A and B are shown apart, each in its own frame.
Chain A
């Protein structure tokens, strides 16, 4: 009896979460694409699908955290560009070992996160303005430093960078393992640590968090730094896959990441959302892109569709909020 009630509650909470709609959409897409195109469900295509979403997945993990604390960061593409150029610069131009390059790229991501955090949190400048400015500055820095050219990285088969780009472990691509690791970490921290639970408090009710003695500024600052770090790791994955570093490495990722996070039901005003929901939505977006590419839908149409999809996701989220609030009032 107790177990039945518990099972029912799990069902209800899942039904009410945004993951419900995303899962259904994902299943429908899988069915449609496997009917429309014979090669969709082949292991080779699924392998490609998994790799193609890994970068977006990493960026979206950072965006989830930023939105949870009630901030927004639009400088992600600049972080990806700068980290990618720095990675190639350290390895190719200076000739340092790949490990140093990777650490350097992630450190640059953290550094930009620190700048964003300092200005938005310490000086209380609107985070959108701050990150809009750092977006321009660091895109410029990346373009300036690379001379608008792609810097080729020489990574022989078996080297560390090559492993990040093309290697696999137990038949699973290393890129996917990195993403899964980051998401498990994010999920664990958000759900089972005091720090993670406080993030929800800070995002959901900043004044209240201040009153109960939480240092709101600290949590927001840390979220910016982690956002930078995940973008740094994402740029390592991009560069390892493309085997070059260039200022255009991040194009389009911010838009995809924000769409995924909103689709996953993370609230734009902070305090609601989670790691798994975002990962599911990333999977949905990746499947959509992969399937549309297989069906040879033109990228321009995909661009228009992605804008419409983001609008749809936000509207559904708003309607769901209204519905939930009304039901809460009835109870």
Chain B
């Protein structure tokens, strides 16, 4: 089979054959070696990284591997994870959403305001909070997909609007504490409850991650988009509507940020207009760490989950070691840089 290209036909020269071979090299047989298969998996590097991190923190702190701390860790990563799952779709489409932290703060303020100020029932307040997230997400989608505005600029603007609206909702920009005096069984359980020892936010994250994973791997719409990504030429050739997908991705991210905001309000028992400051970095870093690329065609929910766990463990472990939040931010930024640099070096091509 492979030798066919070398057979000389009349009128062709050896040079032509070489050129043809270079143009379409013979397909390589898939390797049977299990180790080669394993190292081909993009997630293997992440697993090793996670193992090293866990080992390091387990050795340096006595509390890292306790059940109590792992439950805390699971609860805290789930808020990042819920948004990161949807952000994966945005990034596969070649866009970024910088407004998520603003949406989380706004949602927490809306929910707290409705419960305390307007005396709404818990269920209605939660639904309203999630809807607020969805509305901002739809606005983002409209601005980017329909109007064609650069996603960074559009979401920077909606971030500003959401964040300052959150401040406007509190009297003189103050946070709205819910207090622990009153019984709110449903609302409190969203952020603080456990099922069989597993935190409820973690379960919500698993459901959302699974849904998005199913969408990306089992539906035609999802598979097509994963293949094409933000490459508009490829989309044009295959006839896929990038616009529709982009709108969907932004709306979903807004919805997930809304859910995250409700969990945030429940965990901290109140609305905080200055809350979730800088979370977009952790979320975006987790997605890039997971191997999703901005140029499209590459993205995996499993990778994003691993990225979220790595960043969460990093922050949790550093906090246990008594390292303050500023140094944690330095570490998260460095991990993001190293992840994208490693990805670039692995795929080669550092010259312009």
> Counting CB contacts under 8 A, is B329 at the interface?
yes
> Counting CB contacts under 8 A, is A255 at the interface?
yes
Q: Which residues of B contact A301 (CB under 8 A)?
A: 164, 168
User: In whole angstroms, what is the CA distance A122 to B345 when docked?
Assistant: 12
Contact A144 B327 (CB under 8 A): yes
> Counting CB contacts under 8 A, is B213 at the interface?
no
Contact with A along B146-185 (1 / 0, CB 8 A): 0111101110111111011101100001000000000000
Tell me which of B148, B167, B352 contacts A318 (CB under 8 A): B148
A298 closest partner in B (C-beta) = B168
> Counting CB contacts under 8 A, is A283 at the interface?
no
Contact A304 B160 (CB under 8 A): yes
> Counting CB contacts under 8 A, is B300 at the interface?
no
Tell me which of A129, A136, A140, A216 contacts B340 (CB under 8 A): A129
Contact A123 B344 (CB under 8 A): yes
A143 closest partner in B (C-beta) = B326
Tell me which of B165, B294, B330 contacts A129 (CB under 8 A): B294
A314 closest partner in B (C-beta) = B149
Contact B336 A136 (CB under 8 A): yes
> Counting CB contacts under 8 A, is A290 at the interface?
no
> Counting CB contacts under 8 A, is B236 at the interface?
no
Contact B350 A135 (CB under 8 A): no
Q: Which residues of A contact B157 (CB under 8 A)?
A: 307-308, 310-311, 314
B113 to chain A, nearest CB (A): 15
> Counting CB contacts under 8 A, is A125 at the interface?
yes
Contact A255 B149 (CB under 8 A): no
Contact with A along B122-148 (1 / 0, CB 8 A): 000000000000000000000100011
User: In whole angstroms, what is the CA distance A304 to B102 when docked?
Assistant: 12
Contact B148 A310 (CB under 8 A): no
> Counting CB contacts under 8 A, is A72 at the interface?
yes
Q: Which residues of B contact A140 (CB under 8 A)?
A: 326-330, 333
Tell whether A129 pairs with B288 under 8 Å between CB atoms, given A144-B327, A311-B143, A315-B147.
Answer: yes
Size band of the interface chain A makes with B: 35 or more
Contact A136 B160 (CB under 8 A): no
> Counting CB contacts under 8 A, is A180 at the interface?
no
Contact A130 B333 (CB under 8 A): no
Contact A137 B330 (CB under 8 A): yes
Contact B337 A119 (CB under 8 A): yes
> Counting CB contacts under 8 A, is A192 at the interface?
no
Tell me which of A74, A125, A141, A302 contacts B344 (CB under 8 A): A125
Tell me which of A136, A300, A310 contacts B173 (CB under 8 A): A300
> Counting CB contacts under 8 A, is B278 at the interface?
yes
Q: Which residues of A contact B158 (CB under 8 A)?
A: 307, 311
Q: Pick from A121, A304, A318 the residue with the most CB of B within 10 Å.
A: A304
Contact A136 B326 (CB under 8 A): no
Q: Which residues of B contact A304 (CB under 8 A)?
A: 160-161, 164-165, 168
Contact A124 B294 (CB under 8 A): no
Contact with A along B332-345 (1 / 0, CB 8 A): 11101100110011
Q: Which residues of A contact B294 (CB under 8 A)?
A: 126, 129
Tell whether A268 pairs with B341 under 8 Å between CB atoms, given A133-B333, A258-B156, A308-B161.
Answer: no
Q: Which residues of B contact A262 (CB under 8 A)?
A: 153
Q: Pick from B143, B154, B160, B285 the residue with the most CB of A within 10 Å.
A: B160
Tell whether A136 pairs with B152 under 8 Å between CB atoms, given A216-B352, A303-B160, A304-B164.
Answer: no
User: In whole angstroms, what is the CA distance A136 to B283 when docked?
Assistant: 13
A129 closest partner in B (C-beta) = B340
Q: Which residues of B contact A83 (CB under 8 A)?
A: none
Contact with B along A106-137 (1 / 0, CB 8 A): 00000000000001011111101110111111
Contact A130 B337 (CB under 8 A): yes
> Counting CB contacts under 8 A, is A294 at the interface?
no
B273 to chain A, nearest CB (A): 9
> Counting CB contacts under 8 A, is B349 at the interface?
yes
> Counting CB contacts under 8 A, is A26 at the interface?
no
Contact A119 B160 (CB under 8 A): no
Tell whether A310 pairs with B160 under 8 Å between CB atoms, given A148-B326, A315-B149.
Answer: yes
Contact B160 A307 (CB under 8 A): yes
Contact B350 A122 (CB under 8 A): yes
> Counting CB contacts under 8 A, is B205 at the interface?
no
Q: Which residues of B contact A132 (CB under 8 A)?
A: 281, 284, 333, 336
> Counting CB contacts under 8 A, is B96 at the interface?
yes
B330 closest partner in A (C-beta) = A140
Contact A133 B159 (CB under 8 A): no
> Counting CB contacts under 8 A, is A306 at the interface?
yes
In the complex, besides A268-B150, A301-B168, 6 extra interface pairs with C-beta distance below 8 angstroms are A122-B352, A135-B333, A140-B328, A144-B324, A307-B157, A308-B161
A–B Cβ pairs within 8 angstroms, 29 of them: A123-B344, A123-B350, A125-B337, A125-B344, A126-B340, A128-B96, A129-B336, A132-B284, A132-B333, A133-B285, A134-B333, A134-B337, A137-B334, A144-B330, A255-B156, A255-B160, A258-B156, A262-B153, A301-B164, A304-B164, A307-B157, A307-B158, A307-B161, A310-B156, A310-B157, A310-B160, A311-B154, A314-B149, A318-B148
| A-B interface, 6 closest residue pairs, ranked by CB to CB distance from nearest | A303-B164, A136-B333, A307-B160, A140-B330, A307-B161, A137-B333
